[in-house]
Structure 1
């Protein structure tokens, strides 16, 4: 509060007129509103500080990370399950030494290998609920000893396992040629090589062997069975060889119906002849 004196010149200094008082400051309801505003702001600041401290406490913020997410010199370490809403870019993803690495998705899991310089996708692996698709120039599977078990590209498919077993109940269908040193069946089951609408061709640069240690070997077809050897011979090794339903040159002319001579025409056709008459047949018999 300040007071000012107003003295008119020419009058006595001791004569004082009525003083005018000017109040400086905030009083009344304005002062109460100011105090109330300061109190509200102080309360909001205290609440914000408390919430910030609580969030830091709950989320476990530290200098090395947040919660189970830790930042290390080699990368990011997650101590539990992590959910990524968008694409994850990483050079390596691995689990602990005694834990499994599980990748889950509501639709499918897609893994892309990209070329950073060209910004193109070089390889892709899609794991869906009903399919597994791989896009790449080559697909190779190795075992723990770094031995190749399977190889596939646009030119060839190689299976490096010692034994390949097909367990399908309807068999295995091959649309193209199959090259293998050995074809066997599961013990106790038959091995069948068949073609329902075309031919079955078995070729080898050296030899072809058909054997069955316990059971029997049966060849059957609708038309002809051709056994052809370019330079070698065809061997039939068995304790008993039977050729059934061969035609007879003179039916009913043999004295002993159980004994015949085995004859061959010039074109290779086999026929039976009575043992006493020799291999004689009419000209049209060997046509």
Structure 2
């Protein structure tokens, strides 16, 4: 799937930074010193392990920017599963340019494919249950739009893109209002008054007493933060009984090992910071053909 306007802008900015820090004004000294300027070559971008592909557009655009005379032929699309040895793309053209672009291509694609792969692993754990896997705002500065793009490539969903993309009343907002039931009711009421009918209103709670108070005010979503599975199940039963339209979101301490148990409590959404802040880069490589 192609980058949207925000993803395109982010990529363009990151690419300029990547070229500036990796190639600089002097260029690739090693390739200049050792390779004839007219030397041509071919390379294949391959997967070295199982995963999910993300960033194929990024890879092609890196090559075209650094080595405009080179050619890129995509063999896969973002969101497709990778196996060890999967052929992702073929490249041909001037060797100086291809070698200069190699690391930046891999940096973009390994990072994004790593996030897509981890996203897909969480999604696979709950694929038969009526729950959505979401990311968070726990992203590397500057990379948010691309990181969240990769989450979608893996089958996950995006939470708020930024602070202007929805209302989420957190524990510190409540503490600043004095805490307790009054703060819960007041924060939801103030949000409705300030943005009448404009944004979903989500509020974070960490125990059943806070949950009950929030439920009485009927926000759009209640986030159950670091609550036990037993308490989350009780919250689901209570919500279904008196406010079935309110969505429940589990968050905090969610791992591959426990995500299914959390989903079985009946929550509607599970948000997981690790999808973007702890995803390992996926092993990809360029294999060269000099024959």
Instruction: State the TM-score, normalized to the length of structure 1.
Output: 0.20
Q: Which has the higher helix share?
A: 2
Instruction: State the TM-score, normalized to the length of structure 2.
Output: 0.20
Of structures 1 and 2, the one with the larger relative CO (CA 8 A, separation 6+) is 2
- Whose radius of gyration is greater, 1 or 2? 1
